[in-house]
Amino acid sequence: MAERKVTVMSEVGLHARPAATFVQTAAQAPFDVTVAKFGVPPVNAKSILSVLALDVRQGETIVISAEAEGADELLDRLAAIASAP
């Protein structure tokens, strides 16, 4: 399983526009993608409601995971979105 640990840098955390961009990018994958933060079970990264419900704030670390061929490229793109200021 491929995964990326990322510190969220956006002032709004993983909410609003950053969350929408994150989910739209994850939804392009033909395989399952999850996102989690410490102490919370992983959720579907393709679901805007699930991602918003994580309540990820600036400075928190998330783990983005996927298990499929080509997952590394997608995870790199999602990590870049999550770590953008």
Question: Which positions are annotated as active-site residues?
Answer: 15
* Amino acid (1-letter code) at residue 63: V
Residue 13, sorted as left (phi over 0), alpha (psi -120 to 50) or beta, turns out to be left
b/e 61-84 (16+ beta carbons within 10 angstroms → b): ebebbbeeeebeebbebbbebbee
